[in-house]
Amino acid sequence: MILEHKKIEIDRRVVFENIICNTDTTFSFQLKDEAYFLYVNHGHHIAISPNEVVEVPEGNLGIAVGKSLILKAYPNQENQHYQVLIIHIDRALVANAFGNEFPDIRTSFEQEFSRDMFTGQPCVISRNYVDGIMHYFYNQHVVSEEMLEIKIREILLLLLSSKKAEEIALLLEHFVNKRTASFKEVIETHVLSEISLEELAQLCNMSLSTFKRHFRKIYQATPNEYLFDKRLENSKKLLATSEQPMDDIAMLSGFKTTAHFSRKFKEKYGIPPSQYKMTLSDK
């Protein structure tokens, strides 16, 4: 249940959001021409972008620059709350923050850089920045357009002066130059992720019906047929090469429950996964 969802806007465009909930909740965002800065004040979330799946613990910040973002939010045990601050950063502001010239960052990273998220622990100054922003939600009468633009530039400059400045700069450079993941890159990244077809379609920036048609055209199979085959192939490898419990193997192969995993495994291979593992042990 969402307990609070406050927004601060410029010309009807959301710039800051503060969300509080007390149950496991999934949030979906279309980023379009915005980067997202996120700070998890309570609880934690799993952030899913076209290129990555990243867990962000309490007290950590994150940046997302892909076409879309899914947050699976979980309240903490202490106060049963999940709280996240989201800052929408326009593409033009990111470009201007660099003065139209990006740092020389190729010496530290490989040429191919496919990330669209960053997460880490904030410094003291960044935490103070977040605390300052939170006051504006309850004192919106003092907020002006000029003030909000200054605060956005401030967080960009803080990030670009941090210990992870090179990594963040490269992430933002790809965002400014609109380098996005291809359809196949999104699918191969999330083939073992525990996400729905609707969420996969969102990550590809498509409606579900368009996604299914495009998927069949590329893979000559339905999304469910292809994904289940890949996930079962992975589970078969894990059964043969690891001593992990069946619950862990099911989860690592993208299945929500062990019962569902066992049923699909038996449908494909003719025997339950537990019996398959026993035959390997006998050999």
Task: Say which CATH number the domain at 65 has.
Answer: 2.60.120.280
The reply to whether 247 and 150 lie within a common domain is no
The reply to whether 197 and 247 lie within a common domain is yes
pLDDT score, position 105 = 44
**Distant-in-sequence, close-in-space partners of 75: CB < 8 Å, separation ≥ 6:** 21, 22, 23, 24, 42, 43, 81, 82
Which domain-ending residue is among 127, 153, 176?
176
Q: Any idea which of 13-27, 160-174, 246-260 has the lowest mean pLDDT?
A: 160-174
Which domain-ending residue is among 176, 196, 217?
176
pLDDT score, position 59 = 95
The reply to whether 33 and 90 lie within a common domain is yes
The reply to whether 144 and 261 lie within a common domain is no
Q: Tens of pLDDT along 139-181?
A: 988 888 888 888 988 998 888 888 888 888 888 877 877 776 7
Number of domains in the chain: 2
The reply to whether 149 and 32 lie within a common domain is yes
Looking at every residue in the chain, the average pLDDT score rounds to 87
Residue whose C-alpha is closest to residue 228's, from 257, 188, 201, 268: 268
pLDDT score, position 136 = 93
Residues 15 and 278: their CA atoms lie apart, in Å, by 56
Domain holding 192, by residue range, is 183-282
> Coil, strand, or helix at residue 67?
coil
The reply to whether 165 and 211 lie within a common domain is no
The answer to whether the beta carbons of residues 148 and 15 sit under 8 Å apart is yes
Residues 232 and 266: their CA atoms lie apart, in Å, by 10
Which domain-ending residue is among 148, 176, 204?
176
CATH code of residue 243: 1.10.10.60
Q: Kindly state the tokens that stand for 260.
A: 């569902």
pTM listed for this prediction: 0.79
The reply to whether 172 and 42 lie within a common domain is yes
The reply to whether 265 and 170 lie within a common domain is no
The reply to whether 66 and 155 lie within a common domain is yes
The reply to whether 96 and 223 lie within a common domain is no
pLDDT score, position 212 = 94
The reply to whether 161 and 190 lie within a common domain is no
Q: Tens of pLDDT along 57-115?
A: 999 999 998 789 999 999 999 899 999 999 998 887 777 666 555 554 444 444 455 68
The reply to whether 29 and 95 lie within a common domain is yes
